[in-house]
Structure 1
Amino acid sequence: MLRARCLPRVIIRVPHAPTASRNITTKSRNQARAAVHPYAQRRQQHFIRSVATVTALWGIATAWQWYNGERIFREVHAEEPLKETELNFEKPRRQAASKEDNRDIISSQHLQVKKSWESPGVYAWGSNSGRVVAPDSEETFIKTPRRIPFFDGALLRDIKLDRNFGAAIDEKGDLLQWGTAFSKDTIQPTHTLRGKNLISLAISRDRIIALSASGTVYSLPVSQQEQRTGPKPKSTSWIPFWTSSDNISYRIRTPSSLGWNERVTDVTSGLEHALLLTSQGRVFSFASGTQDFPSKGQLGIPGLTWETRPPGAFDIPHEITTLRGFPISKIATGDYHSLVSDSSGRAFAFGDNSAGQLGFEFNPESSYVDAPSLLPTQRLYAGTAQTASVTNVFAGGNTSFLTIDAVKNTPSGLATRDLGRMTADTWAFGFGLTGQLGIGRWVHTQSTPTKIPAFSGLFEYDERTCSVIPIRLSYLSVGANHAAAVMDNVASVTVPPSKFSSSKLTENDTNWGRDILFWGNNEFYQIGSGKRNNVAQPTYIQPLDQAAEAERASGVLEWGRQKVEKEMHRFQITPRQKIKIGGKTVSLEQRVVCGRGVSAVYSAT
């Protein structure tokens, strides 16, 4: 038996108060009470009433709680007890019906590549105020990529979009137009200029500049009404003494001073001016709009204004003679400025510089430069022992971009591990208040080119060459205030003669495309993320075909919508490859185009 343990007794002695204090008489106590403040007795009475009130309320609350609790207790126990729910564990992945089905399940990139081959067409999004990105819809905005049904299964040579009109060249080389600026009564894309074998086009504020395979440059109005009522040139026929008039109005703007076997190879346009590049590296400029004559130096011809223009039509092409001796290979135009680069890695800029889009410090006394001026790109690599060479130029709105290959050099006699190593960088300058520079900051004016971290100094391992190679920028598409970039990263696309799978691929081998990123102003949802916030840092968007992606993801995880959404992958664009469509072999790739508040991805041949 356990016994309680006796604890030692502890005696605490309290000292007695002094004798004088203990012998207080009754009289003295009464006198002390009388000396108390007259309000003390009131406070004591108030305290007693408060304690009584709190006690009463506590008693009432306890009774009420007991009553309700007893009733709820009786009601709960009157019902049947709840059945225990079984835990839902992750289900195993469904079994693939074939090797190709297995590739679709394990790789979103493989599925995207295959869908782009099986279902060519056009995806568009952004502002729909001009019925351009969704001609058959009255929605104001298209927040995420949506197919234009008219182009389902169609291959295009080129496409350009504005908020109020769109223009495209089909597989045969004919021009199609749509949008409210073209015609408020015509909803679907309509053929306009036919039989010219067009290969590329550019758009100004109110005209379309189209280039044919033979190098002929056509300029025609956007408006269908002007095309029908304007002067129509005579077209010659192979039948002697037989000429016929075309059914729409247009002007031929091929330079008349081209040399033997020289032809126009590229065309680009701003809001009021256009540049033409020839096979001999010469550059011509002309007025591409009819509303205003170029007045900000963007033609590149000093002193050329509306008052000083030569006799003849106002939009006759003029050669930029100051660029003679520089074999120009790339051209680009913003709204009111121009950029060109030559085969030796030099870049020149001219036109409006109010936001620093020429790469020069802003001069309030002269807001534009009317003659091509050399950009000091080597200064960007001062102190790095690298030699800079411009490989491409891009422009749009009030922003400009350069891609540069920088090679590491050292003085003779000194050895370094990085000698001869090449780094690919992308630089941006101009207006960037809505993030269109892509540098991660909101900048009002950026006159000094700034490196874009997302596209600079990147490398990857190439298994074909067993070496580390720089990741370059394939191309940029720059709209009025947003842009998209396609990376030239290593892609893998294997297409057999019969189907999109091949015996050369193992069960787990998949195709993958190239990375594509968007940034800039998102007022009209032109970024394609489904949100409306501006983006200053290049970002990925979701795959174009959301239904196919959701089906693929459900094959991986079949036990909850939230988990399926976590498996969604980013959009990757399909590089060029030869495939069979409709029994014929075609060279096909996906391309992106950014316009004024709109974006699109199309199947390009």
Structure 2
Amino acid sequence: DTLNTLVWGSNRCAACCPVYSTTIKKPYAVTWLDNVALRDLALHERHAACVDARGDVYQWGEGYASSDLGDGQPTRTLSGKGIVKLQLTDRRVFALSESGKVYVLASSASNQAPTEPRAPWWKFWASSQLVDFAELTPQQNFGWGEKFISISAGRDHLLALTSAGRAYSCPINKNANACGQLGFDAPDLWSPAHIPKSIASPSLAAANASSRQPPETSSPDDDIRFCTTLYEIPVLNGIKIAQVATGTRSSFVRTPAGKVLAWGANEHGQLGLGVKFPSDSIVIPTEVVLWPTKSQQSSTRCLGVYAGGDLAGFTIERAPANEATTVELLMCGDGQWGGLGNNLYSNAQVNPVRVQPLSGLVEYNEATQRLQCIVPQSITISETGHVLAALDPSSGGRDLHAWGRNQDYELGNGKKTNVASPTPVDSGNGRLLLQRKKAKEVRDLKGGNRRNIVVEQTIVAGFGCCVVFWR
């Protein structure tokens, strides 16, 4: 009944597992997370971080502290903030709290020394923080009850979503808008010819021209205070957003109605905009046509959008006229390692293509006595080109599949051959099924115990590695 966290793939910088060899060929249970349930876990190339059940942040990896500066064990860095979600970049750790605040701290321990207190001394000592951190705040104060509920980081930029459905962006370094991924650029792009019909609004004409330009900052971009302001994306003003996602240099948003808008880098077709948009960069949020149809009786809506590196994925629900509703998984972008999942290796795919083995699946539901869709869930795309996804049937656990790049054993099959189609992950005792159950005992990383807690297994695709942890 032990809750085991499984890891496999590259571990060159001790980011995947702080106490193991450089390569893990097949799923391996790490002992330091036995019976531990986490709120979140995030991986980068040279460092990693997690949030325990208390909401405290722990960091590890050679990018956090080199072997001559510590023992490699995870170190608690940010505590008492009630963190629920993490996003990592090369030099930053972004943390979202349950109260809706966004914090940033350095990824390296050598850059985390506390600065001089900027608040009254009693507040400084009461916080009892051992590291330097900053809070990211919106350019304008929120209305009553509004707060940040989600964050997503690319290589150089950050997107954030509020409870009111507003999308914000923030530059992380001086390359943050190199491909227009922040969502605001040259003023002439606001002319009617450049505004997609699906998002056109009379209110856009009254937008403040000064808000169209990327923010300026005089701080060095290796400082966590390079930019501590989140700016609402002007062209999305008045459009309710349900989800934000980022690739390395691209941005995506999904509306409650199931529409997807994309912008940023597009040299591999990773925005999914098709041949009508051949530009390497798209600076205005533009609608992605996920499934062209000529019938007004047919409908398609996006259930989720996922991105990583130069790949993007979409789960869509299709309701063709006079046919059963199906759920499909589509992929686009750089599939040179097989990440498109369509049995082909292509470094550019501009139109989203169907991942056949995970699309259009149904099962019989005995309770309703009807067929129901099997939905691909928990999709996570690595920046290095491999993809994980789980199928969610009504019982028996979620069947984990992996495909794409496999140069560091990141697909968990003990081989180093790229795979261009979803393949079940082998746990060593058969197919790896992600479970949801009530645990007799759950620990946090300080040794505290809680009993009879419902937990489920969650997947993360890192830089050439994978982790399955309990949440």
Shorter-chain TM-score bucket reads: 0.7 to 0.9
- Is 1:587 aligned to residue 454 of structure 2? yes
Tell me how far apart the structure 1 counterparts of residues 175 and 94 of structure 2 sit (CA, whole Å): 16
Partner of 1:322: helix, strand, or coil?
helix
Match of 2:306 among 391, 394, 411: 394
Matches within 5 A, 1:77-92: none
Larger strand share, 1 or 2: 2
Tell me how far apart the structure 2 counterparts of residues 378 and 220 of structure 1 sit (CA, whole Å): 41
Matches within 5 A, 1:273-288: 273-288=157-172
Q: Which residue of 1 aligns with 2:65?
A: 183
Distance 1:446 1:308, change over 3 A: closer
Matches within 5 A, 1:541-560: 541-543=425-427, 546=428, 549=429
Larger helix share, 1 or 2: 1
C-alpha contact 1:520 1:536 (8 A) present in aligned 2: yes
C-alpha contact 1:233 1:249 (8 A) present in aligned 2: no
Tell me how far apart the structure 1 counterparts of residues 438 and 17 of structure 2 sit (CA, whole Å): 30
Partner of 1:436: helix, strand, or coil?
coil
Distance 1:383 1:231, change over 3 A: farther
1:292 deviation in Å? 3.9
Partner of 1:454: helix, strand, or coil?
helix
Match of 1:537 among 394, 416, 421: 421
Unaligned residue ranges in structure 2 (runs of 5+): 188-210, 219-225, 442-448
- Is 1:486 aligned to residue 347 of structure 2? no
C-alpha contact 2:182 2:214 (8 A) present in aligned 1: no
Tell me how far apart the structure 2 counterparts of residues 145 and 521 of structure 1 sit (CA, whole Å): 17
Aligned residues between the structures: 429
* TM-score (normalizing by structure 2): 0.85
Cα deviation 1:217-272 (Å, max 9, x = unaligned): 0011100010116566648868xx98667321111013243221001111111111
Q: Which residue of 1 aligns with 2:36?
A: 154
Distance 1:366 1:407, change over 3 A: closer
Q: Which residue of 2 aligns with 1:195?
A: 80
Q: Which residue of 1 aligns with 2:227?
A: 314
Q: Which residue of 2 aligns with 1:81?
A: none
Cα deviation 1:423-472 (Å, max 9, x = unaligned): 11111110000011111110110001111111211110112221100111
User: More deviation in 310-319 or 477-486?
Assistant: 310-319
Q: Which residue of 1 aligns with 2:254?
A: 341
Partner amino acid for 2:451? K
Partner of 1:302: helix, strand, or coil?
coil
Partner amino acid for 1:309? P
Tell me how far apart the structure 2 counterparts of residues 319 and 308 of structure 1 sit (CA, whole Å): 11
C-alpha contact 2:186 2:213 (8 A) present in aligned 1: no
- Is 1:403 aligned to residue 323 of structure 2? no
1:536 deviation in Å? 0.6
Distance 1:293 1:235, change over 3 A: farther
Tell me how far apart the structure 2 counterparts of residues 232 and 466 of structure 1 sit (CA, whole Å): 64
Q: Which residue of 2 aligns with 1:166?
A: 48
Tell me how far apart the structure 2 counterparts of residues 232 and 598 of structure 1 sit (CA, whole Å): 39
Q: Which residue of 2 aligns with 1:258?
A: 142
Superposition CA RMSD, Å? 2.5
Distance 1:306 1:328, change over 3 A: closer
C-alpha contact 2:180 2:283 (8 A) present in aligned 1: yes
Q: Which residue of 2 aligns with 1:573?
A: 434
Percent sequence identity over aligned pairs = 31
1:373 deviation in Å? 0.8
Matches within 5 A, 1:26-425: 118-137=1-20, 139-184=21-66, 185-186=69-70, 187-228=72-113, 234=119, 246-255=129-138, 256-288=140-172, 290=173, 292-303=175-186, 309-310=215-216, 314-361=227-274, 366-379=279-292, 381-382=293-294, 386-409=298-321, 416=322, 418=323, 421-425=324-328
1:578 deviation in Å? 3.5
Cα deviation 1:73-95 (Å, max 9, x = unaligned): xxxxxxxxxxxxxxxxxxxxxxx
Cα deviation 1:554-587 (Å, max 9, x = unaligned): xxxxxxxxxxxxxxx2111113x44432662212
Tell me how far apart the structure 1 counterparts of residues 450 and 279 of structure 2 sit (CA, whole Å): 60
1:310 deviation in Å? 4.3
Distance 1:309 1:303, change over 3 A: farther
Unaligned residue ranges in structure 1 (runs of 5+): 1-117, 410-415, 492-511, 550-568
Partner amino acid for 1:143? K
Distance 1:587 1:384, change over 3 A: same
Distance 1:426 1:231, change over 3 A: farther
